[in-house]
A and B are shown apart, each in its own frame.
Chain A
Amino acid sequence: MSGADGWDADLLREGLVARDFTDDGVRLRGPVPWRGAGGAEARARVEIEVDERFPFYPPQVRLLDPGAQLEVTFHVDRAARPGVSGNLCLWDDAWPADIAPWTDPDELLSRIAGWLEQTAAGWPGDNVCDLERYLEADPTMFVLYDAENLARLKGHAVRTRRGSTSGTVEVWNTPHRLKKRAGRPGFSRADRQLAWVEDLGQLHRPVRSWADIHDVLGEQAASAEQLIAAGVVNLVLLRYQRGDQQSVLALTVKYAADEIKVRACESADTSSSTRQMRAGTMAPQLADVPIAIVGCGAIGSFTAALLFRAGARRLTLIDHERLRPGNVVRHLAGLEQVGAWKTDAVRNCLTAIDPAIDAVRALTTAMTSADYAKLLVQHHRIVVDATGSARATSMLAFAANTTNAEADKAVVTVCAQRDGDVVRVDRLPARGVEIFLPPLPALDDQNELRENGCGSPISRTPPTAVVAAAELACCVVLDELAGHRKLPTSVAFVSRPQPEQQYTHIGLVLPGSMPQDQVVK
């Protein structure tokens, strides 16, 4: 496959001219045979523009004349100017450029014919919700609404408020009761900047103006029109359905010269289900699993965030230290949280991801006894040990090894070693004949970093290794919770070769066939 040297473009142009297209060097115009309604043969005329994005993007195709009775509905961009067709949407962005079927003239013309046939048939089975495409855009506003709550409203006015970022508008979830001003025309001060919520139902053609919306709503449109004309409503939210998909179209509305002008703005659903869509496939099963994270320093904070983002909601955060300015460069929390307990700092960060953190507990305690460790193991499905402390890890290992195997509990201990050149995760207890990777001996450090007022030396682990360790820990946790148990009891990643056997090569290290004298049991 070639690139952007014009070869493919010239080849396509040549092919189209051979298929009766005329080419002025910028655009080509010519015929596309297709089958209209009832299988009748038709001959459309299209304009094709092969621009500088070709062949990475398909050429722009515009319909000049369908050659048969045809109402253009979906899958076409808004026209650049009146009287001109918009570009047909023939291939969505998911189409790989290295396959690029649009470089072949026959494929291109066949795709256009298919588009025409689908349009004539009313796009059966189509569920693409992209009504914004057909309207003039209002880029100044970004509308946030809760689709689950909005679903209960129809033919209601609701209040709006400014969001926390510039241009953002949040729509309230409860109907607003309009108040007439006593003895005077018009509405009260509170009745300003309202949004109107309506339901268009199943749509068979896009709406391109208020007139189209009026046609769909019929008499229902009257209330909204009255309030828009009065300047009370400046935003309209329209629920609609395409096939099996539901969506909402947000419009800014303006009344001028006996006409309602509409512009589409970007909008987004704030409901929990939508916010969880990108959490990964395990999100639903993680929501109810109790997980403890002992140690909310650098690795612990990122581990907590990743698990929370993946859907875990019952988290217990345990740490007894405050966040220091020097921690911030490797920690999830920023400077604004300095001085807070690390557990609170992490919890605050999680709030910014999802306010539903009722089940996230922040405990400012230290791992002081084996009994406490056992309690943690008993009350959580997984305990992540991100302490980097030999004593705390020993206590948790003891708790894991002495807990009834039937109880299906695990301690996942994570750390970075050798200044972050090695990150390692061990799952306890070992099951059956499982063995651990051999430990890496500590090296003498002549240049220990120390911070005033802080007792233990500071690790030189870089932030990248912190995130890598957290990611590896999450892999082990998710493997355990998914019930796959494909990962062995030790997993390490070496980013710089170490002298010790097993750690001499860059990459993932798993316990393999090690000499017996090196096996750790």
Chain B
Amino acid sequence: MAALPTQFGEALSAVEPDEDAAHAQVAHAQVSKVLEGDERLRGLGVDPLLIGSYKRHVSIKRVKDVDVFARLTKADGSLRPGAILDHVADILGVAFPGDVERQHRSVKVDFPDYDLSVDVVIARPCGDHWEIPQRIEEDGRARWVETNPTKMTELTTAANKSFLLYDDDDDSGVYVRIVKLVRQVRRTWVNDQPGGYYFEVLTYHAFQELQPDEKTVAAYLTRILRRIAEMLPDHVDEGPVDPTLPDKTIKTKATAEQIQAAADQMTKAADLAEAALGEEDRCVAAVKWRQLLGRTQNTEVPEDVFPLPDYCNADGTTKNRSVIKGALAVPAGQDRYA
């Protein structure tokens, strides 16, 4: 069993979007300030909220876009989304000239210095949930679609409290770590579609089904990857159930062929993880783990996510350990005084 927990800890640090996270906070704060400073939006009870993978702490390097959910708490059924989106685009355009783009049902603000963008989605209350415009017609009318983006944050937090490495430590949640690693495996093994959120949902379902209880991050990842590989072929026609809205399924841009291709790739990834975990030789295993997790993407210099132990060569052989520094034997033996 070559679980290499120390290296997995370092791999998780390698995909941690530290700098992006700082930039995302600044960008979100700047956009929120503009929205909250507008009189018309204040009248509609604007209450911006960060959503998405960054908010759920499951994003990995690099975070390219940050989602802001512009909740209009006082909006009613008469609100025409086209008009309000135009208004949001206008005020943001003044604040961030040249960096604002009105999109299908959101407004995108670019932050070129940070190489990331903020997507502002407007929402109106709908009972306990929220609705966002599904499609906006020429006249500004729209069909609204129910959504609950904050629910996924709650589910993620709950799963991370439920699946613990150490039963006696509430801070030892393993779920978030595995979501990040699965996202990294997807980036490495799956060609574009389905996206990261789709795999996050699969990971969520895999955890709920398997209720895994393992000793290492490597063992958790291996089990979850296998389950995802098994689940994918079942979703060629229809996506997995949306954990936030149990009567709905996850929509994806991926075609049936792409889902099937992803299933094939994830099967290979799961095979590789199982081979690495079962490997007796730690250096051979380390190279397999490195292959599984690939390199950081969208970074200036792509780097291997999984570090090899100091005693391993890049080809998976073990270094000649007789020349490794720090031999422990003391020439003079014991009972010395100085």
List residues of A whose CB falls within 8 A of some B CB.
Answer: 1-7, 9-10, 13-14, 17-18, 20-26, 29, 45, 55-56, 64-65, 96-98, 100
* B215, A21: Cβ atoms closer than 8 Å: yes
Q: Most chain-B Cβ atoms within 10 A of its Cβ — which of A5, A56, A65, A98?
A: A5
Within 8 A of A (CB), among B211-270: 214-217
Chain B neighbourhood of A4, CB < 8 A: 325-326
Within 8 A of A (CB), among B133-151: none
Beyond A7-B310, A24-B216, 13 additional pairs, beta carbon < 8 A: A2-B321, A2-B328, A5-B326, A7-B321, A9-B6, A10-B6, A17-B216, A24-B9, A24-B165, A25-B8, A26-B9, A55-B328, A98-B330
Chain A neighbourhood of B6, CB < 8 A: 6, 9-10, 13, 25-26
* B282, A5: Cβ atoms closer than 8 Å: no
* B329, A29: Cβ atoms closer than 8 Å: no
* B324, A10: Cβ atoms closer than 8 Å: no
Within 8 A of A (CB), among B295-325: 309-311, 319, 321, 324-325
- Tally of contacts, chain A with chain B, CB under 8 A: 93
Question: Which residue on B lies nearest to A22, using beta carbons?
Answer: B215
**Whole-angstrom CA separation of A64 from B327 in the bound complex:** 34
| B113 located at the interface, meaning its Cβ lies under 8 Å from any Cβ of chain A in the complex | no
* A6, B1: Cβ atoms closer than 8 Å: no
**Whole-angstrom CA separation of A97 from B334 in the bound complex:** 10
* A1, B328: Cβ atoms closer than 8 Å: yes
* A17, B282: Cβ atoms closer than 8 Å: no
Chain B neighbourhood of A18, CB < 8 A: 1
**Whole-angstrom CA separation of A22 from B325 in the bound complex:** 29
| B172 located at the interface, meaning its Cβ lies under 8 Å from any Cβ of chain A in the complex | yes
Chain A neighbourhood of B328, CB < 8 A: 1-3, 55-56, 97-98, 100
* B334, A96: Cβ atoms closer than 8 Å: yes
* A24, B310: Cβ atoms closer than 8 Å: no
**Whole-angstrom CA separation of A100 from B166 in the bound complex:** 28
A-B contact pairs, 16 of them (CB 8 A): A2-B327, A3-B326, A3-B327, A5-B324, A10-B6, A21-B215, A22-B165, A22-B215, A23-B215, A25-B5, A25-B6, A25-B10, A29-B166, A65-B168, A98-B329, A98-B330
| B4 located at the interface, meaning its Cβ lies under 8 Å from any Cβ of chain A in the complex | yes
* B310, A5: Cβ atoms closer than 8 Å: yes
Question: Which residue on B lies nearest to A55, using beta carbons?
Answer: B328
Question: Which of B4, B166, B321, B329 sits near A10, CB closer than 8 Å?
Answer: B4
* A17, B3: Cβ atoms closer than 8 Å: yes
Chain B neighbourhood of A22, CB < 8 A: 165-166, 214-216
Chain A neighbourhood of B325, CB < 8 A: 3-5
* A10, B216: Cβ atoms closer than 8 Å: no
* A6, B165: Cβ atoms closer than 8 Å: no
Chain A neighbourhood of B172, CB < 8 A: 24
**Whole-angstrom CA separation of A83 from B215 in the bound complex:** 25
Minimum C-beta distance from A12 to chain B (A): 11
* A5, B217: Cβ atoms closer than 8 Å: no
* A23, B5: Cβ atoms closer than 8 Å: yes
Chain B neighbourhood of A98, CB < 8 A: 328-330
Chain B neighbourhood of A2, CB < 8 A: 321, 324, 326-328
Question: Which residue on B lies nearest to A23, using beta carbons?
Answer: B5
**Whole-angstrom CA separation of A21 from B216 in the bound complex:** 9
